[in-house]
Amino acid sequence: MSFPFSPPSAAATPGASTASRKIALICAKGGLDECFPVLIMANAARMTGIECSVFFTFYGLEVTTESRVDHLHVNFVGNPMSPMPNMVAGLPGMEALGTSFMQRKMDELDLPRPREMITMLSDSGCELYACELAMKMFERTADDLLPEVQDIITATDFFEKTPGADIIFV
């Protein structure tokens, strides 16, 4: 199975008008397994012609940081849906094992890695923003971000840029 992506088209949703639909996604988590719901939902929105913006804040900022995007990991500790008990999940090497397993499953499903997803989203017209407060907290500059990030803005700016959008916090 290959990951579906196509430019928005009127034929994507027969009989339904998506021209005025907007979605605003807020990505606050930077784990390999945690960022994909946002990336996949943003891609699905663009595939169906829905206008989409994504705001990367706090640990979600990792997904747009050049030095971090290719090194996101899976953390089982404290995850109530973890397939292993916290006592085992916290042992040395378990995080690396979980990350390796997740990457292997992604490869089997032909799912692009986060960097490629960010590029695909940007190319499809999805607006990508970094949180100004998170940038200051983590001492990042615009030079630290992927080139696809359009701007560094505040949460207030994000809401002002997305009037009428359905807002989803992940």
pLDDT, tens digit, 9 for 90 and up, residues 58-74: 999 999 999 999 999 98
Q: Is 50 within the bounds of a domain? A: yes
Q: Is 44 within the bounds of a domain? A: yes
Q: Is 135 within the bounds of a domain? A: yes
Q: Is 94 within the bounds of a domain? A: no
pLDDT of residue 16: 53
Residue 111 has pLDDT above 50, yes or no: yes
What is the pLDDT confidence band of residue 81, given thresholds at 50, 70 and 90?
A: confident
Q: What are the φ and ψ backbone dihedral angles of 22, each rounded to 5 degrees?
A: -140, 145
Q: Is 8 within the bounds of a domain? A: no
What is the pLDDT confidence band of residue 5, given thresholds at 50, 70 and 90?
A: low
Contact 41, 34 (CB under 8 A): no
Residue 147 has pLDDT above 70, yes or no: yes
Largest interatomic CA distance in the chain: 54
Residue 10 has pLDDT above 50, yes or no: no
Q: Is 28 within the bounds of a domain? A: yes
pTM as predicted: 0.85
Q: How many domains does the chain have?
A: 1
Give the range of the structural domain holding residue 33, as residue numbers without chain letter.
21-71+112-169
What average pLDDT does the segment 144-166 reach?
97
Query: By percentage, how much of the chain surpasses pLDDT 90?
Result: 66
pLDDT of residue 18: 54
CATH number at residue 25: 3.40.1260.10
Q: Is 6 within the bounds of a domain? A: no
Q: Is 76 within the bounds of a domain? A: no
Residue 100 parent element (H or E): helix 94-108
Collect all residues with Cβ–Cβ distance below 8 Å to 98 and sequence separation of at least 6: 73, 74, 75, 76, 89
